[in-house]
Chains A and B, each alone.
Chain A
Amino acid sequence: MIASLGLILLCQLIGEIAVREFGLPIPGPVIGLVLLFVLLLGRDRIALLRQGPLQAGGVEQASEGMLAHLSLLFVPAGVGVVQQLDLVAEHGVAIFLILILSAGVTLLVTTVTFLATSRLLARKRSAG
C-alpha cells in the first residue's frame, strides 16, 4: 500500500520536475498519468519491472481506492467560492447560466460526434 502510493507520487514528482525543467505546457500529473500507464504496459512485457507495487495488484488497489472517492477531492476547491462572493454578487447568475449552457452543448456535441463516428465506421466495415 505504502509502496503503491509512493509509486503514484513518484510518477507525479517526475512529471512536475519534467514540466519545470523543460517548460512543458502540460500539467505534471498528466505526465505522471502517462508514465504510470507506460509502466503498467511495460510490466506485462519486461519481467524486471514485475516487483513491488507493480505486482499482485498493488498500484491498482491504491489507485482504485483513491478514485472511489474522487468527488470528495473537489470539495476544498469548491468551498473557495466563499472567497469570491463579490464576483458571485456581480456576475454570479451570468456565470452560472453560461456554465450550464456550455456543459449542455459540450455533452451533446461529444455524444453526437461519438455516435456518428462509430456508426460511420460500422457502415464502412459492413460495406467493405
Chain B
Amino acid sequence: MTGNPFALWVYLSQTPLLWLTVTLLVYAAADAVSLATHRNPLANPVLHSVWVIGAILLLTGTPYPKYFDGAQFVHFLLGPATVALAVPLYENRKTVLSAVVPMLVALVAGSITAIVSIVLLAEAVGLPRGVVLSLAPKSVTAGVAMGVSESMGANPSITAIAVVLTGIMGAIIVTPLMNRMHITDFRARGFAVGLTSHGIGTARAFQVDTVAGVFAGVAMSLNALLTSLVVPVLVTLLVR
C-alpha cells in the first residue's frame, strides 16, 4: 500500500484496465438481474449498464474519452460481430430461403419506414439539421450506423446513442406489442425486431424463441446492407 488512496486512483484512472473491468462487471451484473427476472423486457441489460456506468463516470468526474480508452476493446468487437452474422445466416439458409420473398418485401418496407418516420418526426418537432441526419440510420447496428453518419457529415456519437436507445426500446416494446396484436408467427416477430432494433433486438429475440432469433439476425444483417445504401438517398430527398 502506498498509504495514499489518491495515488492509487491516479494510477488506475490512467490505465485502460479499470474501465474495461467496470464495463464487463456492470454488464455481467445487469445480465444476472435480467436472468433473475426471467428476462423481463424492462430489465434490459444494456439499458441498466449504460445508466450505471454513466453515473459512475459523472460521480468520479471521468471524461468519456478516458472511459473509452478502456471500453474501446469491447466497442471494437462490433465490427467482427457484424461479420460473424454470416454464420447464423449460413446455418439457417434453408429456413431463410423458404421465406425469402416475405422477408425481402418486409425488409424494404421496414427499412424505409424506419428512416422516413424518424426523419419526418424529427423535422416535425423542429430538431436541428445535424441531429436529424444523425438520427436517420438509428435502426442498424452501431458500427454500421456510425459509419453511415460519418459519411454524411453528421455526428456519429449522437447516432450511437440513438442506435442504442432504439435497440433498447424496440426490445422492450416488441413482446407486449406483438402479444396485444395477437401475432404468433415468430418468423415475423423476430424479423421485425431485428430490423428495428439490430443487435439488441436480436439478443432479445433469442431470449424469447430460437426461430425468432434467427430471423432477427437475418433482418439485422440485411438491414445493415440496405440502410447503408438507402439512408444517403432518402436523406437528400427528405432533409432540406
Contacts and interface: CB of A to CB of B under 8 A. Distances in A.
Contacts of B118: 98-99, 102
Interface string A79-93: 111111001000100
Most B Cβ at <10 Å: residue of A29, A32, A79, A91: A79
A30 B144 contact: yes
Contact of B86 (A5, A37, A74, A82): A37
A111 interface: yes
B117 interface: yes
B199 A70 contact: yes
Contacts of A79: 50, 53-54, 57, 64, 67, 71
Interface residues of B, number: 103
A75 B225 contact: no
A77 interface: yes
B57 A82 contact: yes
A78 B114 CA distance: 20
Interface string B189-216: 1011101110110110000000000000
Contacts of A87: 131, 158
Nearest first, the 4 A-B pairs at minimum CB distance are: A110-B110, A63-B84, A76-B71, A78-B164
Interface of B: 23-24, 26-27, 31, 45-46, 49-50, 53-54, 57-58, 64, 67-68, 71-72, 74-75, 77-91, 99, 101-103, 105-107, 109-110, 113-114, 117-118, 121-122, 125, 127, 131, 135, 138-139, 142-144, 146-148, 151, 157-158, 160-167, 169-170, 173-174, 177-178, 181, 183, 185, 187-189, 191-193, 195-197, 199-200, 202-203, 217, 219, 221, 224-225, 228-229, 232
